Amino acid sequence: MEITLRNGKKINLDWNSLVLEYLEDYEGGIEQLKIDVQDEKHRFSTFNFILYCVVSVAYSEELTYRQAVSLVDINDIDRITRFIVECINNMKLSNIEQDDTKKSKHTQMTTNVKYHRR
C-alpha cells in the first residue's frame, strides 16, 4: 500500500519479517503487544508503535518513533489501520493453516505406520 507522508515522500507499506523484528522489540514482546492492543488504556500507544514499525521499515532513512508517527498524514490513518488489521489477520490465518498442515502430516504419518504383533 502506498502512502504520501507529510514531507511529500511516498512510501510503500509492506508487512514483512523486518516489521515483525521491530514488533518483537515491544516491551513484553509480541504477546504483550497483543494484550495491549485489546486494552482501551493502551490501544493508542500500541497502535502508534505498530505504525512506527511499519513506516520506519518502509522509509529510506532511519527514523525515531516520534519522527515516524509525525510523518503520517492523519487522513491516511484509516487506510493504514485497515492495512495493519488485514496483515495481522492474514498472519493468524497462515499460522492456523501451518498448524493444520502439521497436524495433517502427523496424522498421515501415524496412520501409515503398520504395527507388527509379536
Does residue 118 sit within a domain? no
pTM beyond cutoff 0.85? no
For every residue of the chain, DSSP letters joined together read -EEE-TTS-EEE----HHHHHHHHTSTTHHHHHHHHHHSTTTHHHHHHHHHHHHHHHHSSS---HHHHHHHS-GGGHHHHHHHHHHHHHHHHHHHHHHHHHHHHHHHHHHHSPPP---
Task: Report the alpha-carbon distance of residue 29 to residue 88 in Å, rounded.
Answer: 15
Query: Which residues in the chain land under pLDDT 70?
Result: 92-118
Assess if residue 9 is contained within a domain. yes
Range of the domain at 49: 2-103
| Per-residue model confidence (pLDDT) at position 65 | 94
Tens-place pLDDT, residues 40-67: 999 999 999 999 999 999 999 999 999 9
The grid cell for 63 is 527514523
Number of domains in the chain: 1
Using alpha carbons, list the distances in angstroms from residue 45 to 42, 49, 50, 112: 6, 6, 9, 51
Q: Tell me, what's the pLDDT at 88?
A: 82
**What is the pLDDT at residue 62?**
95
In a domain, residue 117? The reply is no
pLDDT of residue 37: 87
